[in-house]
Amino acid sequence: MFKFSFEWLKSYCDKNITPEEVFKILNLQGFEFQGKEKIGSDIITAIEVKANRPDMLSHIGIAREINAYQNKSLPLIPKALAKNDNKKFPIKINISDEKTCKRFCALLIKNVNNKVKTPEYVKNRLEALGINHVNPVVDILNYVMLDMGQPMHSYDIDKISNSELNVKKAPSNFKIKTLGDTEEEIREGDIIISDKEKTLCVAGIIGTDAATVTSESKDIMLEAAVFNEVSVRLTSRALKISTPSSFRFERGVNAESSMDILYYCAKTIKEICGGEISSEQFNYYSGNQKNNSIKLSLKNTNSLLGTSLNIEEIKTYLEKYGFACTELPDDALEVNVPSYRLDVKKEVDLIEEVARIHGYDNIPIEMPTIRTSYNKNSIWTAMDHIRSILIGMNFSETINYSFIPNNTMELLGIKDNDSIYSNILLQNPISNAYSLMRPTLVYSLINCLAYNYSVRNTDLAIFELGRTYFKDKPIDTGCKERNTCGIIMSGTRIPKGWGCDKEVKYSYYDLLSYLEVIMDYFGLEFELENIDYRFCENGSACEILSSGERIGFIGELNKKCFGFVKNVKLIKDKIFYCEFYIDKVGFKSKKLRFESKYPPVKRLYNLVHSKNVRAKEIEETIKNSSENVREVKVKDIYSDKNMSPSEHAVLYEVNYCSKLNTLTLEEIKNIENNFLKALNNKFNASLKS
């Protein structure tokens, strides 16, 4: 973000320009307006400057953009009357290498009077733009930085020991005191500027008290340098100090204009504080002052943009913005990039510039012609189907955070050899409650259910289609992610009324049946096998296995175990939960069976048997008793006072049908007697009296 003063900007632009015009132009050119504030007669505006355009972090930079848009001449930085002789410069400056510091310019002003008052307009503008007033020299340095973009620093020469400065990387970690007397840790490799004895500043970020210019200072040295961007960025991050200076260095400062701006700044200081500017300047510039010129092809421009511009139009556009162009014979331009446009390095950067100047809205609209083959995403489609099926069965969809409390595994008693265990933790979570990448959706869903009870949405069946995360070394990220469907339900499924004289609660058998519906849709055969999960009620937890592979689990949740979940106490009914992975879709072929032309007969049998006997075993015994038993279904299950606690009554419906004839009562009676005898022998199951 950059804040600028409208009055200041106007000094570089058309005198009649209005703030509205300025905002409009900036917005159209990609600099988002972020707010404005009226201070006195001025308007302070904030715009967003993206990382690619550090040249827009100054008033002159914004003025260039505005004037170019309005076809006016671009404002220039005055040239320095430079006379460089580094050997004659009274202070010996040693630059360690060009990677650390690309450019270092310095000059001296002797006999300044830094006790004068900073001019009001300087003070006011700095204040309006959020920079504290210090003393005239420092204020002017800051002012010129906001004006032209070059951060600068000043030193009190008398405080530099031995008249020698070193620009180098810190050889080891040590502590320093920065301005404002706060202690900071400098790490090995941070760029510092020091003399023989002490550190004078953390390059490009902040100074120390050691050689700082105060109102007492007489002879001063001004510095305008360009330090390594990445280094400034890392140091600034490590110190957690961001200054207007570091903000600019991180993004890039135009080394080409450092000396000009430094000289301009010195002249301004002289005008205000008096003194004499030294005739020699120090100027270190690591070579490459060569022109940045790029070839731009007309064909490439038009084919990337879908335009039909001609070479003259492109040339006019670019020249307006300060790019010098020479026409080349093969419908191309040799484009000389202005030094402040650090972002323009390749042909495509110029094409973007052309698009921006031409106006995105002036680029035609044309549907592409492309031939790609259809790629089926069966897992994605499966998830869509599951979503539709569940919503169709009155389940509601939720999305929960992927990270859960870091101690969830311990709280739920999930052991590290359980398949739903994981310990993938975030290194920088927003808090411990959002820190473990969930290996199961059960915490998320019970939490969500409890939240709903707290806002009086009771009697719910909800689901989530989300990811679960597991450690897996061979995968490049070290993490296996599974698309998982979690289902949770509690409370009343069918309310009382409309012929139902008692409400029907969600039950374990509902959950099993819902699971069956979904698995059947995808043609997945599955089996259940008891498993011991502490967070489930005794004996209710089962693993879901498909072709021998574990694909999920099912169970009645143990509310005590989830006591740590907020509002869980509000849920009075039993809570049923199941989750399964959607990483496989089966293909169970389904065909119509031959149906008999004779009418089927249905009979109900209320059998009392041990709870250890599975309904499936009874069903199979009945089926195997005769080929004329077509189907056996469970219609109800219950217990009453007359039964032993280890028993329950199950109501079976048997469907008889023969392909040969209409079954007689006698025939049915025979089959019935057969299987009742078998059931009694095998399972001690008998008809309820």
Partner 1 sequence: MSNLEAEINSKEKLFLEEISTLKNINDLNTIKDVYLKKYMRVLYSNLKTVKDLEEKKNLGKIINDFKKLLELKISETEDRFSLKTTSSEYDFTIRKDSIKLGSGHPLIKLYKKIEEILISMGFSVVQGPEVELDKYNFEMLNMPSHHPARDMQDTFYITAPNVLLRSHTSSVQIRTMLEKSPPIQIISPGTVYRVDDIDPQHTPMFYQVEGLMVAEGISFANLKAVLITLLKEVFGESIEVRFRPTYYPYTEPSAAIDMSCTECGKRGCRTCGYSGWITVLGSGMVHPNVLEGVGYDSSKYSGFAFGLGLNRLALIYYGLGEIRKLYENDISLWDQI
Among 478, 523, 539, 563, binds partner 1 (CB under 8 A): 478
Residues 328-387 that bind partner 1 (CB under 8 A): 346, 348-349, 351-352, 355-356, 360-361, 363-368, 370-372, 374-375, 377, 379-380, 387
Residues 208-237 that bind partner 1 (CB under 8 A): 229-230, 233-234
Among 285, 421, 451, 508, binds partner 1 (CB under 8 A): 451
How far apart are CB 657 and partner 1 at their closest, in Å? 33
User: How many Å apart are CA 164 and CA 196, to the nearest integer?
Assistant: 7
182 vs 457, which CB is nearer to partner 1? 457
Decide: 534 and 413 in contact? Cβ < 8 Å.
yes
Decide: 161 and 189 in contact? Cβ < 8 Å.
no
Among 124, 400, 596, 655, binds partner 1 (CB under 8 A): 400
Which residue's entry shows tokens 């025939």? 667
Question: Around Cβ 105, how many Cβ atoms within 10 Å?
Answer: 26
Decide: 459 and 453 in contact? Cβ < 8 Å.
no
Give the long-range contacts of residues 191-194, CB within 8 A, separation 24 or more: 191/100, 191/101, 191/167, 191/227, 191/228, 191/231, 191/232, 191/235, 192/167, 192/168, 193/165, 193/166, 193/167, 194/165, 194/166, 194/168
402 vs 639, which CB is nearer to partner 1? 402
Span near partner 1 by CB under 8 A; candidates 8-16, 50-58, 124-132, 288-296? 50-58
Quote the tokens at residue 404. Answer: 């859960």
User: How many Å apart are CA 234 and CA 204, to the nearest integer?
Assistant: 12
403 vs 533, which CB is nearer to partner 1? 403
Decide: 504 and 638 in contact? Cβ < 8 Å.
no
How far apart are CB 62 and partner 1 at their closest, in Å? 15
Residues 538-557 that bind partner 1 (CB under 8 A): none
Q: Is position 479 an interface residue for partner 1 (rule: CB under 8 A)?
A: yes
Residues 495-524 that bind partner 1 (CB under 8 A): 495, 498
Among 81, 494, 517, 687, binds partner 1 (CB under 8 A): 494
User: How many Å apart are CA 139 and CA 146, to the nearest integer?
Assistant: 11
User: How many Å apart are CA 152 and CA 154, to the nearest integer?
Assistant: 7
**Which parts of 351-459 are beta strand (E)?**
396-397, 403-404, 436-437
Residues 16-45 that bind partner 1 (CB under 8 A): 27-30, 32
Question: Around Cβ 570, how many Cβ atoms within 10 Å?
Answer: 14
Among 174, 421, 434, 508, binds partner 1 (CB under 8 A): 434
Residues 633-652 that bind partner 1 (CB under 8 A): none
The distance in angstroms from the start CA to the end CA of the chain is 84
User: How many Å apart are CA 497 and CA 150, to the nearest integer?
Assistant: 79
Residues 582-601 that bind partner 1 (CB under 8 A): none
Q: Is 198 exposed, middle or buried (0-12, 13-18, 19+ CB in 10 A)?
A: middle
Among 16, 51, 130, 589, binds partner 1 (CB under 8 A): 51
Residues 271-310 that bind partner 1 (CB under 8 A): 303-307
Which residue's entry shows tokens 């259809």? 374
Q: Positive or negative CA dihedral for 243, 246, 252, 258?
A: positive
Span near partner 1 by CB under 8 A; candidates 206-214, 257-265, 450-458, 528-536? 450-458
Span near partner 1 by CB under 8 A; candidates 6-14, 446-454, 555-563, 591-599? 446-454
Rounded-to-5 percentages of helix, strand, coil across the chain: 30, 30, 40
Which residue's entry shows tokens 């004839």? 661
Among 108, 442, 448, 551, binds partner 1 (CB under 8 A): 448
Q: Three-class SS of residue 575?
A: strand
305 vs 545, which CB is nearer to partner 1? 305
User: How many Å apart are CA 230 and CA 233, to the nearest integer?
Assistant: 5
Q: Is position 251 an interface residue for partner 1 (rule: CB under 8 A)?
A: yes
Among 18, 24, 38, 50, binds partner 1 (CB under 8 A): 50
300 vs 639, which CB is nearer to partner 1? 300
Cα→Cα distances 494→179, 363, 455, 502, Å: 72, 60, 21, 9
How far apart are CB 162 and partner 1 at their closest, in Å? 35
Decide: 420 and 531 in contact? Cβ < 8 Å.
no
363 vs 604, which CB is nearer to partner 1? 363
CA dihedral 322, 323, 326, 332 (to 10 degrees): -140
CA dihedral 598, 603, 607, 611 (to 10 degrees): 60
How far apart are CB 431 and partner 1 at their closest, in Å? 8
- Encoded one letter per residue, x for contact with partner 1 by CB under 8 A and - for no contact, window 154-193 reads ----------------------------------------
178 vs 228, which CB is nearer to partner 1? 228
Q: Is position 528 an interface residue for partner 1 (rule: CB under 8 A)?
A: no
**How many Cα atoms within 13 Å fall on the side-chain side of residue 627?**
5
34 vs 686, which CB is nearer to partner 1? 34
How far apart are CB 262 and partner 1 at their closest, in Å? 25
Among 19, 75, 413, 429, binds partner 1 (CB under 8 A): 429
Residues 406-425 that bind partner 1 (CB under 8 A): 424-425
Span near partner 1 by CB under 8 A; candidates 279-287, 400-408, 539-547, 657-665? 400-408
How far apart are CB 30 and partner 1 at their closest, in Å? 3
110 vs 346, which CB is nearer to partner 1? 346
Span near partner 1 by CB under 8 A; candidates 125-133, 444-452, 519-527, 608-616? 444-452
Q: Is position 248 an interface residue for partner 1 (rule: CB under 8 A)?
A: no
**Which parts of 360-459 are beta strand (E)?**
396-397, 403-404, 436-437
51 vs 665, which CB is nearer to partner 1? 51
How far apart are CB 489 and partner 1 at their closest, in Å? 11
Phi/psi for 647 (5° steps) reads -120, 160
Residues 52-91 that bind partner 1 (CB under 8 A): 52-53
Residues 116-145 that bind partner 1 (CB under 8 A): none
Among 477, 589, 612, 689, binds partner 1 (CB under 8 A): 477
Among 407, 457, 644, 673, binds partner 1 (CB under 8 A): 457
Question: Around Cβ 646, how many Cβ atoms within 10 Å?
Answer: 10
The vertex-641 CA angle with 640 and 647, nearest 5°, equals: 60
The vertex-46 CA angle with 43 and 48, nearest 5°, equals: 155
How far apart are CB 622 and partner 1 at their closest, in Å? 33
165 vs 337, which CB is nearer to partner 1? 337
Span near partner 1 by CB under 8 A; candidates 73-81, 451-459, 594-602, 656-664? 451-459
How far apart are CB 370 and partner 1 at their closest, in Å? 5
53 vs 341, which CB is nearer to partner 1? 53
Under rule CB under 8 A, how many of the chain's residues touch partner 1? Answer: 88
